[in-house]
Amino acid sequence: MEPVSQTKFTSQVARQLSNLKLVSRLLAHELHAQSNSKTISLSKEEVSEIQTTIDLFIEEITRKQGSSFGTGSSEPALVASRNN
């Protein structure tokens, strides 16, 4: 396997971190929108969007980790979800 160039590595990391930035912005928006209260509430849709973003990040990292080490399956591991 060819070594990953620094530029390619940097762009991969930036793309992966963009998912976490999205989660951070969603949470920051809710904190700002509900700033008058000591507690905040999120709709099921908002929680679902945050969970989906995190799951996609986990799957991408798992896929990258498997391809970098030449081990692991080509399928990402499933992530359990709780429905309350």
pLDDT of residue 18: 83
pLDDT of residue 83: 59
Higher pLDDT, 79 or 23: 23
pLDDT of residue 23: 84
pLDDT tens for each residue of 48-78: 888 888 888 888 888 877 776 554 444 555 5
The secondary structure of the chain, three-state, reads: CCCCCHHHHHHHHHHHHHHHHHHHHHHHHHHHHCCCCCCCCCCHHHHHHHHHHHHHHHHHHHHHHHHHHCCCCCCCCCCCCCCC
pLDDT of residue 3: 63
Domains of the chain, residue spans: 6-69
The band of 79, judged by pLDDT with boundaries at 50, 70 and 90, is low
